[in-house]
Amino acid sequence: MRNRTVLAVLGSFALLAGLAAPAAAQKVVKIGDLGSKVGVFEGYGKYQTMAIQLAVDEVNAKGGVLGHKIEIISEDDETKPAPAVRKAEKLILQDDVKLLIGAVSSGATMAVMDVTKKHKVIHWNSVSCAEFMRTTKFHKYYFSNQPDSRMQANGLAKYIVDKMGKRVYIFYTDYAMGQSDGRQFKTALEKVGGEVVGVAGAPLDTKDFSPWFGAINQTSPDVLFVAFAGTDSLRLMTQPSPSPWRASSSSRTTPRTIRIRTCRRSTPSSRRSSAWTPTSWPGPTTRCCSGRRRWRRRRASTPTRWRRRRKACASRTPTSAASASGRKTTRSSWTCTSIR
């Protein structure tokens, strides 16, 4: 499906760019790849280039687009609007690209949109998500496969209020994407009855987030909503903090909704806030990792087998009782701790 989509997009841009002329008129069609090649969004930029190359190799192997081979010209936007504009102008005016893909940062992408609109060049955004790209900045040459911040916020807010808690602290990276995510999530959360207990932004490429942890803890949130991306997201999610929270994430390197968990063998109840034991049947929404494994192994079972299995599990001794009686703890008595 993805390959067919790429072929359709490339074919469409070829027609729009007036490439239906005989192949002799132009032997090579150039595509501009504009993205972050170093720095906090390096991963996005490199994977964008790899994905474009895979698609182009496949298209060229089948004869190209309308008989034209495709060539990629890559540029680094330095994750900043000004360099992104300069590189976009260079790709369009000097390299004569017919399609520009990028950038990565929402701020850079919005700046490039002005360039592609001015020169009437097809612009394909694959990463950026600030809502302005579909509102005030939108133009007829612009296409995107990335959901914007409004879509993500509306999907997350109801789930968080229903499943995780109503008191939410919003923590975002202080530039176009993070500001957009934080703003749209606040609006969506309040619509479904949630409460924003605090809002804070950290500069792009922050190395240490500990200065913000104190303020977050003082508000005692049920959920910490984080809108970060790239290496910023990885640092935040792995950096030790004085109080591990349930976290909902709008970052681009983690699932859209997560809970911070650990899974280990049975421990005293004083060391965990909640735990799954064999007396609680592991259904498809169980928090326990071993329960999910059993669910996957038996999901094709008949209802009768489910009932027999459920009865067998209900008859087992809970983990704590098994330990107290001196019985050997087995893999089936693992617990899953939900750190809140």
Query: pLDDT at position 259, please?
Result: 34
Tally Cβ neighbours within 10 Å of residue 315: 9
Same fold, 2-146 and 150-249: yes
Does the structure show a pLDDT above 60 at 64? Answer: yes
Q: What is the CA radius of gyration of the chain?
A: 25
Contact 288, 319 (CB under 8 A): no
Tally Cβ neighbours within 10 Å of residue 291: 22
Strand (E) or helix (H) holding 110: helix 106-119
Orientation of helix 106-119 relative to helix 81-89, angle to 10°: 30
Task: Name the average pLDDT for the chain.
Answer: 75
Write the pLDDT tens digit of every residue in 108-121. 999 999 999 999 99
Write the pLDDT tens digit of every residue in 245-295. 555 555 443 333 333 333 333 334 433 333 333 333 334 444 455 666 666
Does the structure show a pLDDT above 70 at 1? Answer: no
Q: What does the angle CA 15 – CA 20 – CA 22 come to, to the nearest 5 degrees?
A: 160
206 contacts: CB under 8 Å, gap ≥ 6? 173, 232, 235
**CATH number belonging to the domain at 150-249, selected among 3.40.50.800, 3.40.50.2300, 1.10.3720.10, 2.60.15.10:** 3.40.50.2300
Q: Residue 327, CB half-sphere, CA atoms under 13 Å: how many?
A: 13
CA distance 198 to 261: 24
CA distance 269 to 138: 55
CA distance 281 to 279: 6
The domain covering 2-146 belongs, at the CATH homologous superfamily level, to Response regulator (3.40.50.2300)
Would the pTM of this model clear 0.75, i.e. be above it?
no
Nearest CA to 34 out of 110, 93, 121, 112 is that of 112
For the chain, domain boundaries: 2-146, 150-249, 264-309+334-340
Does the structure show a pLDDT above 60 at 334? Answer: no
210 vs 287, higher pLDDT: 210
